[in-house]
Amino acid sequence: MEADLVIVGAGLFGLTVAQQAVEKAGARVEIIDIRDHIGGNAYSYMDKETGAEIHQYGAHLFHTSNPTVWKYVNRFTEFTDYVHRVYTTHDGEVYPLPINLGTINQFFHAHYTPAQAKALIDEQAGELAGTDPENLNDKGISLIGRPLYEAFIKNYTAKQWQTDPSELPASIIRRLPVRLTYDNRYFRDTWEGLPKDGYTAWMERMIDDPRIHVTLGTDFFDESQPLNRRALVGRVPVVYTGPVDRYFDYELGELKWRTVDFKEVRYDEGDHFGCPVMNFADADVPYTRAIEFKNFNPERRDSQNPDKTVVWEEYSRFATRDDEPYYPVNTAEDKALYQKYAAKASAEPKVVFGGRLGTYAYYDMHNVIGSALNAYEHHVAALLAD
């Protein structure tokens, strides 16, 4: 197909731009991706043994308060009424998260009112109360007091970053939400849920148009195949959603990321944790959390194996160049380096950079879709018109 637009990356950003380009400009779109599937990190598949929908790159929960995004995604999928709630294990006991009045009263074996709980937390911040510490450890204590911080935040964060929190910048946790009610709903957005027939089916519908062609297993930087950077840039509009430093062959240096490793554990029981996500706040458990996929979709119980379940344990570490980048480290040095790459990106002819990798930012799914709709309207549409 002779393409009017080439999109590098079949994640939500690229798929949204492709759909808009076809619908609004009648464009012919070629999507390429180095992976063997569409959907980016939101890709999911069905596990035959358990009947669970596996989120291959970790738990993905859709939520938004943006009416434009909510209206848009409902064109391609219906959503379940799933409400995300998280629990954490500390010292052999399970508590609700985020920290709320139930967590506080359970932890202190008390029945504090909201005002009493707030006064207690303020008192437990001690000499750090009202200060603006530079390291994460002291910042956490100043925000929620030492006992709660050390029980639920300190060791979890150390495992996430593989670094003692006293050596991490305070900017990582500008705030720690503490709810002085019994509300343990994780997200506070207007809408949330999971696609009724799975993430992959949702995304397949987004590009179900003969004017969109997808080529998988294709490396944009491999000049032995025709859909490569040298052959395309400047000749046809390109939307690039890969790592921005990789686009420029790391010539200014590498941006740092955290990645996640998963260890799969299968149990001969119908339900192991009783919830979709269980955090582990203590240092003696090497992983940060465990995901039990069956529990995301209780409405599918009749099609799931009642005697088997699958759990993924999640381990966080710093990424190498060969790892899948998940979360930008975003030190001051990284931010400064990204600004240099962003300046170079803005000078690339007919190239629009987007998505978390292309802009060195962490986005939830609704943010990705919103930014893609915006990028099409303000950048891509003009390139197609030209």
Check if 289 is active-site: yes
- The active-site residue, picked from 314, 338, 341, 356, is 314
Q: Is residue 276 a part of any domain in this protein?
A: no
- The active-site residue, picked from 81, 132, 174, 175, is 175
Statement to judge: residues 168 and 90 lie in one domain: yes
Check if 300 is active-site: no
pLDDT at 112: 98
CATH code: domain of residue 125: 1.10.3110
Statement to judge: residues 250 and 334 lie in one domain: yes
Statement to judge: residues 38 and 10 lie in one domain: yes
Statement to judge: residues 157 and 218 lie in one domain: no
Each residue's pLDDT tens digit, 16-65: 999 999 999 999 999 999 999 999 999 999 999 999 999 999 999 999 99
Give the sign of the dihedral formed by CA 46, CA 314, CA 364, CA 362. Answer: negative
Q: Is residue 44 a part of any domain in this protein?
A: yes
- The active-site residue, picked from 91, 182, 223, 362, is 362
Statement to judge: residues 201 and 244 lie in one domain: yes
CATH code: domain of residue 228: 3.40.50.720
Statement to judge: residues 119 and 237 lie in one domain: no
Please give the residue range of the domain that contains residue 359: 5-79+192-254+328-385
Check if 246 is active-site: no
Check if 185 is active-site: no
Statement to judge: residues 69 and 92 lie in one domain: no
Statement to judge: residues 99 and 157 lie in one domain: yes
pLDDT at 129: 82
- The active-site residue, picked from 179, 245, 247, 360, is 179
95 and 106 Cβ atoms separated by less than 8 Å: yes
Length of the chain: 386
Query: Nearest 5°: phi and psi at 75?
Result: -70, -25
- The active-site residue, picked from 240, 289, 341, 356, is 289
Domain boundary among 140, 172, 204: 172
Q: Is residue 297 a part of any domain in this protein?
A: no
Each residue's pLDDT tens digit, 179-207: 999 999 999 999 999 999 999 999 999 99
Q: Is residue 132 a part of any domain in this protein?
A: yes
Check if 364 is active-site: yes
pLDDT at 1: 58
86 and 94 Cβ atoms separated by less than 8 Å: no
Check if 175 is active-site: yes
Per-residue pLDDT of the chain (386 residues; tens, 9 = 90+): 589 999 999 999 999 999 999 999 999 999 999 999 999 999 999 999 999 999 999 999 999 999 999 999 999 999 999 999 999 999 999 999 999 999 999 999 999 999 999 999 999 988 888 888 889 999 999 989 999 999 999 999 999 999 999 998 888 887 777 999 999 999 999 999 999 999 999 999 999 999 999 999 999 999 999 999 999 999 999 999 999 999 999 999 999 999 999 999 999 999 999 999 999 999 999 999 999 999 999 999 999 999 999 999 999 999 999 999 999 998 889 999 999 999 999 999 999 999 999 999 999 999 999 999 999 999 999 999 98
Helices (H), 42-148: 67-73, 101-107, 114-124, 136-144, 146-148
pLDDT at 177: 79
Q: Is residue 184 a part of any domain in this protein?
A: no
Statement to judge: residues 59 and 150 lie in one domain: no
- The active-site residue, picked from 150, 189, 271, 364, is 364
- The active-site residue, picked from 30, 258, 313, 356, is 258
Statement to judge: residues 58 and 115 lie in one domain: no
pLDDT at 309: 98
Q: Is residue 134 a part of any domain in this protein?
A: yes
Q: Is residue 291 a part of any domain in this protein?
A: no
18 and 207 Cβ atoms separated by less than 8 Å: yes
Statement to judge: residues 227 and 162 lie in one domain: no
Whether omega for the bond prior to residue 349 falls within 30 degrees of 0, making it cis, is no
Distances (CA, A) of 346 to 14, 31, 59, 384: 18, 22, 33, 17
Statement to judge: residues 107 and 141 lie in one domain: yes
∠ CA(68), CA(203), CA(290), 5° rounding?
95
**How many domains is the chain partitioned into structurally?**
2
pLDDT at 168: 87
Q: Is residue 283 a part of any domain in this protein?
A: no
